[in-house]
Structure 1
Amino acid sequence: MGMIATNNNEIKLYYSSETSIGKQTYAYVVSSEKKVLGVDISKTKVPGSHWVEIADGLNIEIQKLINMEHPDFIKQYGDKCIDLDQHDWLRILEKHPETLAFPVVIMEGKFIAIHSPSDFAKYLNPDTTKQ
């Protein structure tokens, strides 16, 4: 069992309200009729264990959660490819949450990377959208 509590009647969204994709994705998610728990990582510290679970749920490595082209990442680490261990990548997410590459939705036990706000729409059943 994972550390992140899930509920089939709830959508959990990890996003940053400081990014346009985060704000737009949040708007899409709250348009569903399910209860939404939005975790705005720019205001809420997310434990490393949650990031590990999110990466595992998406079947990706931790560093894939980080936008290495983000200006804050480049300012801190440069624009060259860097080799860090999992702990170091987790510290980047902890100290620089603005570098999160994309919002993540957890819905009905599925982890979904949202690369475009409209990506979420295809996961809604026609009967779950507000009329």
Structure 2
Amino acid sequence: MIKIYYSSKSTIGKQTYSYVNASFKELLAIDVVKTNVTGTQWKEMAEHLKMTIGDLIDKEHPIYIENYDKDADLDEHGWIKVLDNHPEVLNFPIVILGNLFLQIKNPSDIEKHLDPNSAGINERKKI
């Protein structure tokens, strides 16, 4: 099972979702813009990525700049509120493959973590 947390308002998010979806693996896709992600889930993802919750946020995103001080130094609960109120500021999609948590900065990077799927491919034999 592959889980992906992504923003459908992000080009990188949409492209990463397309790569994962095309893998024909069992997929649970969470569009953070449409589905509420709990503070506990954000905290767990940040911990597995060895980051703070604030590191998950694109502080250059126009919506972030419009609503928050660029140099804001919030605590964990403050950053969770930012993601609750403006989930589109998630900086990169997060893909979970079993116990492996990945923050995907380039959509094609996910390919090296997906097993090739040859199901349904008709291989030609040379005679």
Shift of 1:78: 3.1
- Asked if residue 30 in structure 1 is aligned to residue 25 in structure 2, the reply is no
Distance 1:129 1:64, change over 3 A: farther
- Counterpart of 1:101 in structure 2 is 91
In the other structure, the counterpart of 1:77 is 68
Alignment correspondent of 2:49: 58
Structure 1 residue aligned with 2:40: 49
Is the Cα contact below 8 Å between 1:16 and 1:42 reproduced in 2?
A: yes
Distance 1:15 1:111 in 2: 13
TM-score, length basis structure 2:
0.89
Aligned to 1:89: 79
Q: d(CA) in 2 for partners of 1:128 and 1:114?
A: 24
Flag the 1:120–1:29 CA change in 2: closer, same or farther, 3 A: same
User: What count of residue pairs does the alignment treat as equivalent?
Assistant: 121
DSSP 3-state at the match of 2:51: coil
**RMSD of Structure 2 on Structure 1 (CA):** 1.5
Query: 1:113: which partner in 2?
Result: 103
d(CA) in 2 for partners of 1:84 and 1:129? 48
C-alpha deviations, 1:107-129, integer Å up to 9, x for none?
02110000011110110123478
- Structure showing greater Rg: 2
State the alpha-carbon separation in 2 of the partners of residues 49 and 16 from structure 1.
Answer: 18
Determine the C-alpha separation between the residues in 2 that align with 1:129 and 1:70: 40
Q: CA deviation at 1:33?
A: 2.8
Deviations 1:38-72 (A, max 9, x none): 00011001000000000011111110000000000
Give the whole-Å Cα distance in 1 for the aligned partners of 2:90 and 2:102.
14
TM-score (norm 1): 0.87
Q: Give percent identity, aligned residues only.
A: 46
SS in 2 for 1:60: coil
Residues 33 and 130 of structure 1 are in contact (CA less than 8 Å); yes or no, is this contact kept in structure 2? no
- Give the letter for the 1:123 counterpart: H
Name structure 2 gaps, 5 residues minimum. 122-127
> Is there any run of 5+ residues in structure 1 with no aligned partner, and where?
1-9
